[in-house]
Chain A
Amino acid sequence: MIQRLLPFLTLIILFVGLAIASPHFLTQTNLSSVVRQTAVINIMALGMTLIIISGGIDLSVGAILAMAGLMGTMAMAAGLPILVGVGVGILAGGACGVVNGFFITKLRVNPFIVTLGTLGIFRGLALIISNGLPVHKIPPSFSFLGEGTVLGVPFVLWILLLCALLMHLLLEHTKLGRYAFSIGSNEHAAFYAGIPVDFHLTAVYAIGGLLTGLAGMIEASRLMTGQPTAGQGYELQAIAAVVIGGGSLRGGEGSVLGTLIGAFIMGLLSNGSDLLGISPYLQQAIIGAVIILAVTVDELRKRRMTA
């Protein structure tokens, strides 16, 4: 039980430790900057949670994020209203997810390979479409999405909480979520039970794409540009958040709460290192070590359970 709570305890210890170690930690400016920084990864990680539960992985989310941000801002630059632009970005992300799902289910190629390939394809397309140049002609009020405040709390936190709630409902209370668990835990058993595996896997990647699309619009709003090079390396952070939160790359395991905790642990680690003046080089090493530690502890727990 203690081991199951370990990620949560780690988060609390980190929080309390940082509050004691640095007087700047518990300020509203700092905390809202942590929330804003982690929100993008966090929302992507929610989609990644669903994908990893279904036994898959998506390495292309960083490229999808860039593609979505680019499409959304281009729509705005072309004169469409902000809300429509955001919608375009989200749908572009969803379309990329459908492409991933199609390759994975119809060509029966391993998701790791497919999304490694589409990572390059989506990124390349984004660069071609934009000619490598960022989109700047964006209405100023678009910045509200990433930088606005509602009831004294960053707007992105509300968005994150809403997405987290919806993803939790999807995983625990819908057929789609249940099928994701079934397919991830034992794809053969799911197939033998007559579950339409291909359809649901495609839906899983599509939902991952929609969330990444939303994350892409938030990122674009924070930068106030549509960057074809945005989001490089984000896929690994999203995967790390899921894994620290107890998701298993073998599929069938993972939770929204775990992923949120995982993402915030990483967010606090990097924020804390900044506050305490730890070099950004060392930061990377610390986060890497935490990933290995978290997974090791989780494996030990499972081994003890089965023994």
Chain B
Amino acid sequence: MLLHLRNIEKRFGGVTALSSGNLSVDAGEVHLLMGENGAGKSTLMKIVAGMIPFDGGEMLWRGQPVQFRNPAEAARNGIAMVHQESLLAPHLSVAENIFLGREDTGWLGWVHRRRMMQRARLLIEENNFPLKPEWSVETLSPAGKQMVEICRALEHGSSLLIFDEPTSSLSESETRQVFRIVTNLRNRGMGVIYITHRLEELRSVGDRVTVLRDGVTVHSGPLSGLTTDELIHHMVGREVSAIYSRKPGERGAELLRVEGLNRSPLLADIGFSLYAGEITGMAGLVGAGRTELCRALFGVDAIDSGRIFVDGKQVEIRSPRDAVRAGLALIPEDRQRTGLATGLPIAYNTTMASLGAVSAFGFLKLSEERAVTLEYMRKLRIKMDSPKQLAGRLSGGNQQKVAISKWLAKGARVFLFDEPTRGIDVGAKVEVFEVMDQLARSGAAVLMVSSEMAELLQVADRILVMRQGRITGELPGRTTQNAIMRLAAFEKESGVLQEKPE
């Protein structure tokens, strides 16, 4: 046995990311690591690769207890990770990246360039990679970059390779190429851990599978004989913890209609409608294109084709300014980066989109601004000292409410919430749900993008599911997590689940 993890624990501040991570990997096997968003897969692998320390449990490497202090130590022991986001130096050549940090050097740090080039060429040829050692890494495709990372791992003499969702950014042919490489590595006796959401592609590659859920290993066993339904059950498993229940909304007029929206490379043929009085959920796994859809609707990214209707009238949205004019509001996922100016007072944020309403001839009416801010403080129950307080000093939930108040002040009618509950505590979550409910009841159309399926089930009147840039189906609000997961991760609504031919 190469690697054995027993009851690994990891906390970030007060949040427990892993409470009992168990995993064992043999030489010559491909081990799939699966789980929902936030189940702890990446955290567990970062621990193995020495990127973060663990707080409890035991890690055995070739039978010896270890705790790697940094990635270099893990690498010396033969563990390497191929990252989702490439960690290569883009301006250097393929060969230079392969030997980065362990250059073949002589006296006074002189780098033996030609020798490195030759060894890199040999390595590339051994693996049949379509690469040249002198190519610049920035010109490579994502798959090419992964090949460089693999070469680097092989050059370092690694015996365990970790792939963190390597195919999420790859095309189909590139994906097949990665699978071929993975199979080759296994046949050469290496251990491979493969983090993935997309099981159906991996039936042919994987030997065993370990499923994490909420930081706990809930299943570990051979892949053959495990049905997709069983796997979904392991991944979703838990009872829906009812923190909130909402009376279903009443569907009013159609406020937003999207037809045939395309944006390469991800979004394809998107069509849906949002109605006044309704909260429409949108589910999907990481990388399904939900955030990209919000950005495209809001005019942040240009669309290739498609039509958008607001209130029955077709609108051209080429920038957020157009979107705001049309009555759209986006409460983005990365609140700190795009949603709020955290270094400015709350009042400045509240009126940011509607400054015209509190000014005359370019001059601000500061007392009116203050009144508006206090009004929304009361309406949304924002806990703050004064409108002059800096927005960044509020809690996550209250920051979220300030971001919402900005759009209420503007009088928006179509609200796009991208992961509205990310990074806020349970109490604040309920309050955000209440605000969304209030919005819907006052005649707004609400889209709620969320990776928390349980929350979608509690809040949404109906749920759209996206997978790989397409809407794969629509479900009623009272559906099940299994039904969502099926559309999000596997086949189309009506399609038959394909099992590995034995």
Contact = CB atoms under 8 A, between A and B. Distances in A.
A37 B213 CA distance: 70
A176 B366 CA distance: 14
B338 A192 contact: yes
Contact of B343 (A173, A176, A186, A193): A186
Of A174, A189, A190, A191, chain B has the most CB atoms within 10 Å of the CB of: A189
Interface stretch (B236-244, B323-331, B374-382, B424-432): B323-331
A190 B359 CA distance: 18
A252 B410 CA distance: 23
Contacts of A191: 300, 320
B152 interface: no
A174 B363 CA distance: 4
A193 B364 CA distance: 17
Contacts of A176: 362
A253 B340 CA distance: 16
A196 interface: yes
B352 A193 contact: yes
Contacts of B320: 191-194
A187 to B, nearest CB: 9
B332 interface: yes
B340 A173 contact: no
Contact of B340 (A181, A186, A195, A196): A186
Contacts of A190: 341, 352
B298 interface: yes
Contacts of B300: 191-192
Contact of B348 (A173, A178, A188, A192): A178
A175 B319 CA distance: 20
Interface string B337-364: 1111111100011001101100100111
B406 interface: yes
Nearest to B331: A192
A193 B406 CA distance: 8
A182 B321 contact: no
A174 B366 CA distance: 10
Question: What does DSSP make chain A's interface, helix, strand, loop or mixed?
Answer: helix
Given A193-B324, A194-B325, A196-B321, A182 B344 contact: yes
A173 B343 CA distance: 18
Interface string A164-183: 00000000011110110110
A173 B364 contact: yes
A178 B355 contact: yes
Contacts of B356: 175
Given A173-B363, A182-B352, A193-B324, A252 B338 contact: no
A174 B362 contact: yes
Given A176-B362, A182-B348, A193-B352, A188 B343 contact: no
Contacts of B348: 178, 181-182
A273 interface: no
B364 A192 contact: no
Of A175, A176, A306, chain B has the most CB atoms within 10 Å of the CB of: A175
B364 A185 contact: no
Contacts of A193: 320, 324, 352-353, 406
Interface residues of B, number: 32
Contact of A175 (B339, B341, B359, B410): B359
A174 B358 CA distance: 10
A182 B337 CA distance: 13
Nearest to B369: A178
A188 B403 CA distance: 13
B155 to A, nearest CB: 37
B362 A175 contact: yes
Contact of B341 (A173, A196, A252): A252
Contacts of B410: 194
A99 B246 CA distance: 56
A178 B298 CA distance: 23
Interface in B294-341: 298, 300, 319-321, 323-325, 330, 332, 337-341
Contacts of A194: 319-321, 323-325, 353, 410
Contacts of B366: 173
A192 B366 CA distance: 23
Nearest to A181: B344
A252 B391 CA distance: 13
Of A175, A176, A191, A192, chain B has the most CB atoms within 10 Å of the CB of: A192
Contact of A186 (B324, B341, B355, B363): B341
Given A181-B344, A185-B344, A189-B339, A195 B364 contact: no
Nearest to B335: A189
Contacts of B343: 185-186, 252-253
Contacts of B338: 186, 188-189, 192
A175 B355 contact: yes
B362 A189 contact: no
A286 to B, nearest CB: 31
Given A192-B300, A192-B320, A193-B324, A185 B341 contact: yes
Given A178-B355, A182-B348, A192 B298 contact: yes
Given A185-B341, A194-B325, A174 B364 contact: yes
A188 B337 contact: yes
A185 B338 CA distance: 11
Nearest to A179: B355
B333 to A, nearest CB: 12
Contacts of B352: 182, 189-190, 193, 195
Interface in A105-156: none
A201 to B, nearest CB: 14
A103 B363 CA distance: 28
Nearest to A194: B324
Interface in A80-110: none
A176 B364 CA distance: 10
Interface in A169-225: 173-176, 178-179, 181-182, 185-186, 188-196
17 contacts: A173-B363, A173-B364, A174-B362, A175-B363, A175-B364, A178-B348, A178-B364, A179-B355, A181-B348, A182-B352, A185-B343, A186-B340, A186-B341, A190-B341, A194-B353, A195-B321, A252-B343
Interface of A: 173-176, 178-179, 181-182, 185-186, 188-196, 252-253, 306
Closest 10 CB pairs of A and B: A194-B324, A185-B341, A186-B341, A193-B353, A188-B338, A194-B321, A193-B352, A185-B343, A252-B343, A185-B344
Given A194-B319, A252-B344, 10 more contacts: A181-B348, A186-B340, A188-B337, A188-B338, A189-B338, A189-B340, A190-B341, A192-B298, A193-B406, A252-B343
